[in-house]
Amino acid sequence: MNEAARFALSAEATADIGGEIHALVSRLFPICRSITGEGVRRTLAILSEHVDVAVREVPSGTRVFDWTVPQEWNVRAASIRDASGKAVVDIADSNLHLVGYSEPVARRMPLSELRTHIHTLPDQPEVIPYRTSYYSRDWGFCMAHREYLALEDGDYDVVIDTTFSDGSLTYGEVFLPGETDREVLLSAHICHPSLANDNCSGLAVLAFLARALTGRRRRFGYRFLFAPGTIGALCWLAANEERLSRIDLGLVVSCIGDGGGPVYKRSRRGDAMIDRVMEVIRCDGRKISMIDFSPFGYDERQFCSPGFDLPVGLLQRSAFGTFPEYHTSADDLDFVRPEHLASSFRMIMDIIEVIETDRIPLNLSPKGEPQLGKRGLYATTGGHKTTPDVTMAYLWVLNLADGRHSLLDIACRSGLPFSAIAAAATRLEACGLVGDAQA
C-alpha cells in the first residue's frame, strides 16, 4: 500500500466490520447510562476490550468553569404498580422509563398526582420518550402514550430506588501519538441510556476507528474522547487547557448508524481544515450535506465556545431532532444497520486519509501546460465535448501546484473528490511533472 493510500479502505475491505460494530452497539444498548454512575464505567469497560481506554474520574463537587460536577447517580430499580400489584411501568423493561437523575421515591399516590410525573408523546403514541432532570431535583417516568391513556383511576405504588452520593464523573480517553505534536480530536457522548443511534453508534464506531489506527504510522496524534454530554466535555477541556492549541481539527460523532444524510455541521470558524475536508468527502458516492454552525447541539458547542474556539464540527447521518426515532424507544437495535455503520466507518477513515495525506505539490514544468499525451495521461483523440474527470484532475493539479495550494485546496477549488486529486498528483509525480513543495 503506497503512502497516499495507507488509510484508504474499500467497501470490500470493510465488508465484515459493520456486523462487528453492530455487535458492539448491541452490547452497549441495554446499559443504563447517565452523566455519572456505574453505567458509564460498564460502558468504558466494554470499549476497553477493543482499544486501550484511559478512565478518568472527576470528584463530585469539582468546579468546572461555570459548572459543578454533580453527585454521582445510580439506579437499582424503578416501577409503578397498580392496586393489584401489576407493574404498569418498570425500568427493567426499558431504561427510558425512568427520567434520568430522578430522586428516590417510595409511596402510594392517586392517579391524579401520578399523572404530573409522567411524560409521553401524544403524536407518537407507541413509543417511550427520553427525558432527564440532571441539575434540578425531581422525579418522573416516561411511557407510551397509548399505555398512559389506559391507566385506570385508583392508587398506584411508586418506587424509585436511586442513590445520590459524593462519587465522581467518569469519562474515557484514548490517545494515539503521531509523528508530530499536532492532534485530531474525535468525540462521542456516553451519557445516553438505551438509544442505539444516539449514541451507542458513535461510541462503537469510534472504538473501531481507534483500533484500526492503532499500530499504523500516523502524522497526527489522534485523541478519542468518550465523555458525558456537556459536563464531561467541560471536565476534559478544563483538564487539558494547556494542550488545546495542538488540536488542528476535530469531529463530534453522533447518530451515525442510520441510513440518512450524512450531515456535517461546520465549526464555529466555518473555514477550518475540518470544514474544508468535509467539502470533498463522499459517503457511498454521496456528497455530505453541509450546514452552518449554531450554538445548539452536542459537545461541538463546548469545543467551539468562544473561550476555546476549537476547529471542531459535528458529523451525523440523520441530524439530531429531525428523525422521528430521535430520543425515543424507536431508536433501537433495528434502527441502526450494519451496512450504515460500515459506511460511516469508511467515511471517517476517508476523512483521516485526507488529513494524513494532504500535501503541497509543486509543478516542475509550470511554463505552459505540459504535454500529457506523450506520457500516456491524455486521450489520443481530441475534440470531445466533455473532459473526463481523471483528465480534469491532472489539469487542476498542474495548474494549482504552485507551492501555495495543498491537495485539499485543489480538491475544494475543482469540486473533484480528494481521492481523484491525490491519485492524479501521484501519477504526475511518477511522470516527473510534479514534486513535493515541502521537500
**Binding-site sequence positions for Zn(2+):** 192, 198, 327
In three-state secondary structure terms, 26 is: helix
User: Helix, strand, coil proportions of the chain in percent (round to 5)?
Assistant: 30, 25, 45
CA distances from 43 to 191, 193, 380 (A): 10, 10, 60
Q: Whole-angstrom distance between the N-terminal and C-terminal Cα of the chain?
A: 21
Element (H, E) at 19: helix 17-28
For 85-139, the three-class secondary structure string (H helix, E strand, C coil) is: CCEEEECCCCHHHECECCCCEEEEEEHHHHHHHEECCCCCCCCCECCECCCCCCC
**Residue closest to 194 by CA, chosen among 26, 375, 341:** 26
CB 192 within 8 A of CB 129: no
Q: Kindly give the residue spans of alpha helices, DSSP state H, lying in 240-360.
A: 273-279, 300-303, 338-357
CB 253 within 8 A of CB 206: yes
Determine the Cα–Cα distance for residues 25 and 337; give it in Å rounded to an integer. 10
- Which triple of cell numbers denotes residue 175? 490517545
Q: Strands 289-291 and 263-265, how do they pair?
A: parallel
Residues β-bridged to residue 74: 163
Give the residue numbers of the binding site. 192, 198, 327
